[in-house]
Amino acid sequence: RKEVEQDPGPFNVPEGATVAFNCTYSNSASQSFFWYRQDCRKEPKLLMSVYSSGNEDGRFTAQLNRASQYISLLIRDSKLSDSATYLCVVNRVYNQGGKLIFGQGTELSVKP
Amino acid sequence: GAGVSQSPSNKVTEKGKDVELRCDPISGHTALYWYRQSLGQGLEFLIYFQGNSAPDKSGLPSDRFSAERTGGSVSTLTIQRTQQEDSAVYLCGSGTAPLSNYGYTFGSGTRLTVV
């Protein structure tokens, strides 16, 4: 079982739709959480950090449930420019170091 | 510079040759990661540097791979006797701390092709 699992998609949605991505992680020692966005043949870019209380940035809402080891990303009123692969990322700290663990990504395609 | 800089951006090499990939992290960032991403695949952890601590090399796929970070800044990833399965995009990322709510910033990568 992968340490971070996501639905690979692809999700094909029309403009204006609401879409939700789910992610689960297996290591309870995970301590910080992120959603990254990766466009085709580009590097991953930080979309938002995920906090226990949930957080919102414009059309994007992230939620974290530590008890269930579950992370979600909600995109409202989706735009064509939201088309990308969304990566769930977990930061596991141990000893004096840390390791970013990436999910395989969920592909989103927003159509006119 | 303002971001993470990687060089070269593209590298084509013959099987069996050695290559060096360079990463200039954001100034002041103590944490530095190397990942690789094969076509259509997720990011595979290679190595992690944090300040003066011993690096976490647990992701290096074989002893042909090595990395160093000089002066807590620039890092070089070396692949000896390259094989075709080494072809991938090699990404370097840096951050302020092992545990950071600000995430990590990645360079645009080095696309390595072994022919």
Give the model confidence (pLDDT) of B65-89 as tens digits.
Answer: 999 998 879 999 999 999 999 999 9
Hey, how many other C-beta atoms are within 10 angstroms of the C-beta on A53? 7
B93 vs B3: CA distance, rounded Å: 10
Residues B31 and B95 sit within 8 Å (Cβ to Cβ): yes
Question: Which residue of B lies nearest to A50 if distances are taken between CA atoms?
Answer: B101
Here the tokens at position A87 are 């990566």
Tell me the C-alpha to C-alpha distance, in Å, between residue A47 and each of A57, A95, B17, B46, B114: 9, 28, 38, 23, 32
Task: Output the six-digit token pair for B99.
Answer: 């545990």
Arithmetic mean of pLDDT, B40-56: 88
pLDDT bracket for residue A95 (50, 70, 90): low
Q: What is the pLDDT of residue A103?
A: 94
Residue B22: is its pLDDT beyond 60?
A: yes
**Can you tell me the distance from the alpha carbon of A74 to that of A56, in angstroms, rounded to the nearest whole number?**
9
* Beta-carbon separation of A46 and B105 below 8 A: yes
The pLDDT confidence band at residue A94, using thresholds 50, 70 and 90, is low
In this model, does residue A32 exceed pLDDT 70? yes
Angstroms from B104 CA to nearest CA on chain A: 7
A96 and B102 within 8 Å at the Cβ level: the answer is no
For chain B, the residues whose C-beta falls within 8 A of a C-beta of chain A are 31, 33, 35, 41-43, 45, 48, 50, 53, 56, 91, 93, 98-109
